[in-house]
Structure 1
Amino acid sequence: MANVPLQLGIITAYLLIALVVGLLAYRVTDRTAEDYYLASRTFGTVVLLFTTFATLLSAFTFFGGPNISAGSGPEWILVMGLMDGVLFAVLWYVIGYKQWLLGQREGYLTLGQMLGDRFGSTALRVLVAAVSIFWLFPYVMLQQQGAGTALVALTEGAVPYWVGAGGITLFMIVYVTLAGMRGVAWTDTLQGLFMLVMVWGAFVWVLAAVGGPTAATSKLASTDPEFLALGGGLYSPQYVISTAVSIAFGVSMFPQVNQRFFVAESKMVLKRTFALWPVLVILLFVPAFMLGAWAAGYGISPADGNVLPLLLNEFTPGWFAALVVAGAMAAMMSSSDSMLLSGSSYLTRDIYRQVVSTATQRREDLLARVGVALFAALTFVASLFQPGTLVEIGDTAFGGFAQLALPVIVALYWTGTTRKGMLSGVLGSQTFYLASVFVPVVPSSYLGGWSASIVGMVLGLILTVSVSLATVAAPEENASRFSNLQAE
């Protein structure tokens, strides 16, 4: 039986350290929206790099990734590591740099605010915020589900699923209402470094226990000689490209990531950060996903639960396994706290303030905190039903966010984009993608394996461009807002 008191003590101690960092940040946070949501746009290279890194690396990465590597092979590294490490870095420049310039000049806090201002449209601003909050729901739920299943596996069932998921939910509510962006970013930096150290520690420890990478790979090959063949099975070209593109473009539209495009203190910080991004991604994904693949050789299957905690229980001491799971919990917390903070800004700034004409700052602040608690509680309740695997939930949310990306890129770079074109592109692609997820008669893949997410993205692009060409901009639309940008 696992040493439950020791393991829970280690995880609790880590959570308390994170809380102390958040409280320190709270003491120096101004009581303004720009400081609470964007830390007054003052992040340097290290903090921006690690807060984005930790925000993205969630239960989907730590548990979903090793699980799919254990079930289908290590090519998942190509999908999430090499391809998305590079693709997202490119999008960081294509979308993020232009957004940063606009944020510096216009003071934007959210993507919806930026688009609503450019197209003179409250409806577009509310639509983008509503779509974003809708797709945040399953991704926050994924973190809670990951926390619950991780503690079940680590403690061999001594800690029930609902305790793990509920505990992380309660912590997130307290933390987000206090810390703001500065506290989240400081903690993210700590958590990102901790994640890297722990996953490489696990990599070295497990390999030392089994006799090295050659022995682990030989064991895997003897279990299933076809497992190490490149491609085949799940990893068709259509699947690999569809998944990588959907995830990379979806990530760029995640509210918690997209808002980080606004927070760099200088142009140089932004460019250094997206140049370093692929390196950091590979440093985490390669050891985490290879551990998952090697686990299959030792009879550890995703059918038994999350493979990473099970593998650690098999080959490392309980205290070390608890430290690694604490690192995974750090990944979940750093994603969830950022999601709740960004979701709060979308709810209050882009929906409540636009719909309620009598909104006051005090009511808005209260709604932000109540909204965080309510949203987290609802996702916790949904996570109790475990509606899908971590990969399925994450992939669905990535696809939903990806539908926003191409209309946004068109708007950023083509002055001929019109309000009707944007509304058509966003509504059309979202409607199609929602139907592919929730309506059984609508296929989820096309033409030999291309995902509905990719088809929806192409549809959104076609609608945005064609409707813009067929319509005339309204007088209140202002294309000059997105042009003539220079770094200050």
Structure 2
Amino acid sequence: MSVAVQLGIIVVYLLVALAVGLLAYRLTEATAEDYYLASRSFGTLVLLFTTFATLLSAFTFFGGPNLAFSAGPEWLIVMGALDGVLFAVLWYVIGYKQWLVGRRNGYVTLGEMLGDRFGSPGLRGLVAGVSLIWLFPYVMLQQMGAGEALVGLSDGIVPYWAGAALITAFMILYVVLAGMRGVAWTDTIQGLFMLSIVWIAAIWVLAAVGGLGSATGSMLEARPDFGSFGGGLYTPGFIISSAITIAFGVTMFPQINQRFFVAESGAVLKRSFALWPVLVLLLFLPAFMLGAWAAGMPIDVAEGANVLPVVLNEYTPFWFAALVIAGAMAAMMSSSDSMLLSGSSYFTRDLYRPLINPDASASREAWLGRVGVAVFATLAFFASLLRPGTLIEVGDTAFSGFALLALPVICALYWDRTTRSGMIAGVAVPQIIYLALVLIPTLPRSFGGWDYALALMVLSAALTVGVSLVTSPTAESDASRFAVAGD
């Protein structure tokens, strides 16, 4: 009976989110700028929480606590302090300049912005293609997280594939209907809800085990290594590599990068990235510490299972555990629908329209984008059934792939001497090498704890600058398009 009630709570929560999307659908205009960017109208609260909820993925809610449970609470430092602050800095360095450029020239996607600056449909398609490649595993990550969440919540009664299928169906339906406005509205509701519920969960669990001191003492008794910084997995190479690749990768995620275009004013953008580190720490602290404290709790976490549903089932009422998991699944849906919406814009505007059918009507583009969403999500679902790695491994693969785009983009935004050839070399060569590292299992991904993605990031900058210095700007390039004044 309790499992039926839990599943009912989750379905009702998702249906409420869907209702918000239907309301937004009634207000969405039949233009690409409104469907994909909500006519660049977001205020501080909505921009901050739509960015926040878009990043509240399975990587955060299940991968993070799992890593803290197995390796120690230093993951809070990597994700909370280092990436919270570093991403806020990059939001200013990349996001603010991109907002200024996008507002002036009406850009909807990163590829559109770069392709126009360098007069290159090929570069536009390259950036879109690379982004879609690495978007695939991150969509798959949400489906894996949902499947594992329902297995843990129901003690295995609900199979893994059912949870993955549930979130896939909802994300397809939601994106087809809602557009950016609906996504942002539900993101705001879900972000506020999850921030509240995860703190209530932490306080509830701590009360059940005897308080903060008891939980920490039991953790240290079971895992004395959790009481000292570093060691084990947390080598300097791992910490620095993770912090850099995740922060730089986040800025290039289509669903995050596109949010650099949507603020209604520069003041909104500045307030949002100033508040970002605080918001990140407020979420990650209770979520990751629940995973770390679980190491000292008398619970049985099966190999490959997520620790958070096990802890909640043990120490909170079944209805509350279901509410937390419902919120987590909704957060995963927030991430997924944002990814699919952005992926749709990259496919239709940067690949289909410029390379296949420049004269496509707006209605045909919209129809094709919706079909693309369904196909992309369905393929990711079938891939998620193969479970190609842990949530952290799959997420890290995507982060590093996106991180390789960041330094060439910074060069394009701030260095007028950047050429089309430099951009193509800086984007394509590191991506080819990294793709080989991912697809060929016998090739190492790290050396002495240092991720090779860091070296490839340096290579991307060196190629962009070096090739630009020995090549001339093409006649189609126009650096003045990025010459904008702040506000």
Indicate the TM-score class for this superposition, using the shorter chain for normalisation.
over 0.9
- CA shift, 1:285, in A, is 0.2
- CA shift, 1:486, in A, is 3.6
Distance (whole Å) between structure 2 residues aligned to residue 181 and residue 189 of structure 1: 12
1:109 corresponds in structure 2 to 108
1:342 corresponds in structure 2 to 342
- CA shift, 1:363, in A, is 2.0
Distance (whole Å) between structure 2 residues aligned to residue 130 and residue 282 of structure 1: 33
2:314 corresponds in structure 1 to 314
Distance (whole Å) between structure 2 residues aligned to residue 115 and residue 122 of structure 1: 9
1:134 corresponds in structure 2 to 133
Give unpaired runs (5+ residues) of structure 1: none
1:480 corresponds in structure 2 to 480
Tell me if structure 2 keeps the 8 A contact 1:70–1:301.
Answer: no
What does the per-residue CA deviation read over 1:12-38, in whole Å, with 9 as the maximum and x for residues that have no partner?
A: 111111011111111111111100000
Aligned counterparts, 1:254-269, within 5 A: 254-269=253-268
Verify: 1:437 aligned to 2:456, yes or no.
Answer: no
Moved more, 46-55 or 322-331: 322-331
1:36 corresponds in structure 2 to 35
Distance (whole Å) between structure 2 residues aligned to residue 90 and residue 133 of structure 1: 25
Tell me if structure 2 keeps the 8 A contact 1:109–1:259.
Answer: yes
2:288 corresponds in structure 1 to 289
Please give the secondary structure, in 2, of the residue aligned with 1:109: coil
TM-score, normalization by structure 2: 0.98
1:467 corresponds in structure 2 to 467
1:328 corresponds in structure 2 to 328
Distance (whole Å) between structure 2 residues aligned to residue 440 and residue 387 of structure 1: 12
1:364 corresponds in structure 2 to 365
- CA shift, 1:366, in A, is 1.3
Moved more, 373-382 or 219-228: 219-228
What does the per-residue CA deviation read over 1:74-105, in whole Å, with 9 as the maximum and x for residues that have no partner?
A: 00001111000000000000000000001110
Letter matched to residue 215 of structure 1:
S
Please give the secondary structure, in 2, of the residue aligned with 1:264: coil
Distance (whole Å) between structure 2 residues aligned to residue 247 and residue 162 of structure 1: 28
Aligned counterparts, 1:228-243, within 5 A: 228-243=227-242
1:246 corresponds in structure 2 to 245
Structure 1 runs of 4+ aligned residues shifted over 6 Å read none
Aligned-residue CA RMSD (Å): 1.1
Verify: 1:453 aligned to 2:449, yes or no.
Answer: no
- CA shift, 1:432, in A, is 1.6
Tell me if structure 1 keeps the 8 A contact 2:100–2:484.
Answer: no
- CA shift, 1:303, in A, is 2.0
1:170 corresponds in structure 2 to 169
Letter matched to residue 270 of structure 1:
L
Q: 1:347 to 1:360 in 2, by over 3 A?
A: same
Tell me if structure 1 keeps the 8 A contact 2:153–2:309.
Answer: yes
Aligned counterparts, 1:267-286, within 5 A: 267-286=266-285
Distance (whole Å) between structure 2 residues aligned to residue 443 and residue 380 of structure 1: 27
Distance (whole Å) between structure 2 residues aligned to residue 321 and residue 34 of structure 1: 39
Please give the secondary structure, in 2, of the residue aligned with 1:129: helix
What does the per-residue CA deviation read over 1:45-69, in whole Å, with 9 as the maximum and x for residues that have no partner?
A: 0000000000011000000000000
Tell me if structure 2 keeps the 8 A contact 1:70–1:302.
Answer: no
- CA shift, 1:226, in A, is 1.7
- CA shift, 1:300, in A, is 4.5
Distance (whole Å) between structure 2 residues aligned to residue 356 and residue 411 of structure 1: 26
Tell me if structure 1 keeps the 8 A contact 2:301–2:310.
Answer: no
Please give the secondary structure, in 1, of the residue aligned with 2:88: helix
Tell me if structure 2 keeps the 8 A contact 1:102–1:485.
Answer: no
Distance (whole Å) between structure 1 residues aligned to residue 337 and residue 328 of structure 2: 14
1:386 corresponds in structure 2 to 387
What does the per-residue CA deviation read over 1:126-166, in whole Å, with 9 as the maximum and x for residues that have no partner?
A: 00000001101000000001001100100111111111110
1:419 corresponds in structure 2 to 420
1:396 corresponds in structure 2 to 397
Please give the secondary structure, in 1, of the residue aligned with 2:279: helix
Aligned counterparts, 1:197-236, within 5 A: 197-236=196-235
Give unpaired runs (5+ residues) of structure 2: none
Distance (whole Å) between structure 1 residues aligned to residue 183 and residue 58 of structure 2: 17
- CA shift, 1:441, in A, is 4.5
Letter matched to residue 352 of structure 2:
Y
Distance (whole Å) between structure 1 residues aligned to residue 240 and residue 31 of structure 2: 42
Distance (whole Å) between structure 2 residues aligned to residue 37 and residue 268 of structure 1: 22
1:410 corresponds in structure 2 to 411
Tell me if structure 2 keeps the 8 A contact 1:71–1:296.
Answer: yes
Tell me if structure 2 keeps the 8 A contact 1:71–1:301.
Answer: no
1:15 corresponds in structure 2 to 14
Tell me if structure 1 keeps the 8 A contact 2:101–2:484.
Answer: no
Distance (whole Å) between structure 2 residues aligned to residue 355 and residue 432 of structure 1: 25
Aligned counterparts, 1:95-106, within 5 A: 95-106=94-105
Distance (whole Å) between structure 2 residues aligned to residue 125 and residue 88 of structure 1: 24
Letter matched to residue 187 of structure 1:
T
How many residues were matched structurally? Answer: 485
Letter matched to residue 431 of structure 2:
Q
Please give the secondary structure, in 1, of the residue aligned with 2:225: coil
Letter matched to residue 403 of structure 2:
A
- CA shift, 1:234, in A, is 0.4
Distance (whole Å) between structure 1 residues aligned to residue 484 and residue 386 of structure 2: 50
Please give the secondary structure, in 2, of the residue aligned with 1:158: coil
